[in-house]
Amino acid sequence: MSLDSLPNELILRIGELADSQADLLALSRTSRLHHDVLDKLLIPYNIEHTRSNGLHWAVSHNDLKLAKRFLNRPGLNMNLPALERENILANINLTTFARLDHDGLFDPPLYVAINKGHTEMALVLLDNGATPEIDNWRGTTNTMDLAICRGHQDIVRKMTELNVDTTKLVVSPSRRRAQPAQISRIVWAVVHNQPSVLHPLLADISTHHPQELHAHQQAALVTAAHHGYLYSITILLDSGAAIDGTPGQRLRAIDVAISENQPEAVELLLERGSDLRRNQHDLAGAYMRHCRRLRRRARIPGAGVGPQRLDMMSDRVTRALVHGAQRFPEPFPADFERLLRANSL
């Protein structure tokens, strides 16, 4: 008597008594009839016995059709990783562990979707109840910070709609500091040169944290000037960031751009109206640091500044400052005026 001759109810009962998901899947593949009867058992079995690893596979391979079959099923936990790391560490070697980690099997499905760039999959998961802000298994980053540094604008916007805190600080490792720095999420976006996500971040901060908007804008503007990211500078200025900061602010964007030898940023800031007459001491100090950097690169010894040591008019930053100084009718302080003249002969 073949299996095909059995009634559907009996085939279904055999499937319910399967010892493993592999046995159930193999039985469903013996014929089209068995597949039609047993298909309804596959996903519930996967959810109950294998930590919904089928959903994880669908997310990893960007199979939206399969992923949607898992959604809204009883017992589904959309935040579970495919494997429980603590239970398998004793049974695998480091090479296998590294491969499983690379495949994201220890991370939640939403994290995997964002990490692999599956934007539509991530949005589907968020729409169906996935926790919007959840850490990877190491605890080193979370889904929101990952979406920001990867530039997933639609995902970031969706997370802000789900009330994820856009002012939360991000731990940023630094080679220059023993302890990692903590920076805001808008600065995190600028550091990773992802200007597209600045729009939803700025919109959310202005709506929910208006009293903090100015501080976030200024920190991001100085960071963008430091790296020379012109599009980010433009977005921040268009959003209302004060180009020269607040009175008494020691670090202005123009000072940082000069010090870090970012001529395009210097030219853009001057074009947008940065005032060279403000904070003359910091401006002169920034320019001196810039000159020292150029001398080090040219391997020219000495601390003096002048055409006899370095042809500064071949330097775009110096040319931009000289051109910018000519726009102001008021005289500059003598120290800075002498500094510019000495390097523009």
Write out the DSSP string of 260-295: TT-HHHHHHHHHTT--TTSSHHHHHHHHHHHHHHHH
Q: Which residue has the tokens 């123009």?
A: 254
Question: Do residues 216 and 183 lie in contact, with contact meaning Cβ atoms separated by under 8 Å?
Answer: no
Give the separation between CA 76 and CA 141, rounded to whole angstroms.
24
> 43: closest CA among 75, 9, 87?
75
**CATH architecture of the domain with range 52-162:** Alpha Horseshoe (1.25)
Mean pLDDT, consecutive 10-residue segments, the chain of 345 residues?
A: 69 72 76 76 84 90 93 88 74 77 85 94 94 88 94 95 91 58 90 95 94 92 95 95 80 87 91 79 74 66 46 68 68 59 52
Q: What is the pLDDT of residue 320?
A: 80
Q: What is the pLDDT of residue 310?
A: 47
Give the separation between CA 136 and CA 118, rounded to whole angstroms.
17
Distances in Å between the Cα of 20 and the Cα atoms of 11, 60, 66, 81 are 16, 23, 20, 20
Sorted by where each begins, the domain ranges of the chain are 1-50, 52-162
pTM value is 0.80
> 285: closest CA among 236, 328, 333?
333
Give the separation between CA 214 and CA 27, rounded to whole angstroms.
63
Query: Which residues lie closer than 8 Å to 328 by C-beta, 6 or more apart?
Result: 275, 276, 277
> 276: closest CA among 209, 233, 336?
336
- Read off the pLDDT of residues 207-229 as tens digits, 9 standing for 90 and up: 999 999 999 999 999 999 999 99
